[in-house]
Amino acid sequence: MYLSQQNFNFSIPTEIVYGINSVKHKLPDTIRSLQKAKVFVATDPGLLNTGIIDEVTSLLNKNGIDTAVFAEVEPNPHAQTVMKGAQIYKQESCEMILAIGGGSPMDFGKAVSAIVAHEGHILDYRRGQKPLHKAIPLLIAIPTTVGTGSEVTPVSVITDHEEGRKYVIASPMLAPKAAFVDPSLTTSLPRHVVSATGVDALVHAIESYTSLKSNPITDGLAFEAIKMIKGNLPASYAHPDNLEARAQIHLASTMAGISFGMAGVALVHSCSHPMSALYQVPHGLANAILLPHIIEHNLIANYEKYANIARVFEPSLTFENDRNAARKLASLVKEFNKALDIPNDFSYLKLDFTDEMVDRLSKDAMNDLGTIPNNPRKAEKEDIRQIYKKVLPNALTKTELEDVYNRV
């Protein structure tokens, strides 16, 4: 769309505090400036075991700030866990929330913040239901992975395991008051978390860059994030002590988060959400596996933008026209994933996916109303079924496999 024909607003309510050891040097003063004396710390068991949480709570306690730690957040946080966390928040008379970890603790922290101020159940406030209407406790986010972006978005994704669905709670009030982007907190990440969350950030950047809601500001943030991730994620994966590479992808994740907070994400997320809700696939891993196949589906909708991305991955494509360059992107992403030990498909689940299972996944993806409308190419249910069949073991018939290879 021509710029002269666009209208958009851009604002980000979250203060970003970036730098090595920024948590150590600036977090207590930030909380004191908010005049809060007791903090509800939301995190997960794995991070608790690293000692990072003890370091942060000791820092706060030494500065006269009391803490109550809730370390039961699971991957793809459950609605029931949110309700339990809200109860403890009230019992402990907490005054604000500090979410430390990956996307799950941050989404959990946002949801707790919402429900402690509202009556009923957290899922009463999912997208399409009741809006948040009361002031909620302030939240500070400290990301310790390299690929969530949740520290700068007004969105929380919560899983209803009884229904096997992920739901979005979205409101400008959910945006964190501040985000501490401190690369020094990411050096203890396991390698598989670095790769999966790093490609998750890449997905955020690519989907917001190609989203129907994109604009020149989100494009600039997303495209720069793509370049930073492509140039630094392999080095960061190869050696955790490469602090410059780790710093680059940590900040790139936040930049991609700002971009998709406005431009949105699309079909990769539509398809990954059901995989996480039904089969507990980590969100970043699901996104990484699905990405190249959805790029193939979307190409014809915007050859120019996908060609721009392809040229980041392979500069020699500068000499190819947009259509030819764009057609190379999916294979380039597959090679990138392979170097990071991302699996090609979901075979590791050791499940044989029946037609009924694929149909349920496709139906849930089509109903992911916060993502499907942003996709550059309109996706029908049969399109999504065919995408799933490429990544689900034993889901493609022999005839369908031959058809896929012939089209490629």
Q: How confident is the model at residue 102 (pLDDT cuts 50, 70, 90)?
A: very high
* Mean pLDDT along residues 31-38: 96
Binning pLDDT at 50, 70 and 90, where does residue 4 land? confident
Q: What is the pLDDT of residues 236-247, one digit of tens each?
A: 999 989 999 999
Please give the average per-residue pLDDT across 308-316, as a whole number.
98
Q: What pLDDT, in 10s, does the model give residues 374-392? A: 999 999 999 999 999 999 9
Residue 87's CB is within 10 A of a number of other CB atoms, namely: 13
- The yes-or-no verdict on residue 3 having pLDDT over 80 is no
Average pLDDT over residues 396-400: 50
Residue 334 tokens, joined:
């597959």
Position 101 scores a pLDDT of: 96
Between 5-19, 268-282, 319-333, the lowest mean confidence (pLDDT) is in 5-19
pLDDT at 43: 98
Residue intervals of the chain classified under CATH 3.40.50.1970 are 15-186
Of residues 7 and 20, more confidence is placed in 20
Angle (deg, nearest 10), helices 283-298 and 329-339: 160
| The pLDDT value given to residue 6 | 77
Side chain identity at 348, as an amino acid letter? Answer: Y
What number is the average pLDDT over the span 42-57?
95
Q: 166 pairs with which residues across the strands?
A: 159
Provide the pLDDT for residue 373.
Answer: 96
Q: Say yes or no to pLDDT of 278 above 50.
A: yes
Mean per-residue pLDDT of the chain: 94
pLDDT(408) > 80: no
Please give the pLDDT value at position 400. 52
Please check the confidence at residue 184 and state whether its pLDDT lies above 80.
Answer: yes
Looking at the predicted structure, is the pLDDT value of residue 365 above 50?
yes
Region 20-43: mean pLDDT is 97
Confidence class for position 10, pLDDT limits 50, 70, 90 = confident
pLDDT at 162: 86
Angle at which helices 191-210 and 283-298 cross, to 10°: 40
- pLDDT above 70 coverage of the chain, percent: 96
Partnered with residue 219 across adjacent β-strands are none
What kind of fold does domain 15-186 have according to CATH? Rossmann fold (3.40.50)
Q: Which of 103-107, 363-367, 404-408 has the lowest mean pLDDT?
A: 404-408
Architecture of the domain spanning 191-407: Up-down Bundle (1.20)
Burial of 350 (0-12, 13-18, 19+ CB in 10 A): exposed
Among residues 27, 21, 42, which one has the least CA distance to residue 102?
42
397 pLDDT higher than 80: no
Domain with CATH 1.20.1090.10 in the chain: 191-407
pLDDT at res. 1: 63
Q: What pLDDT does residue 396 have? A: 52
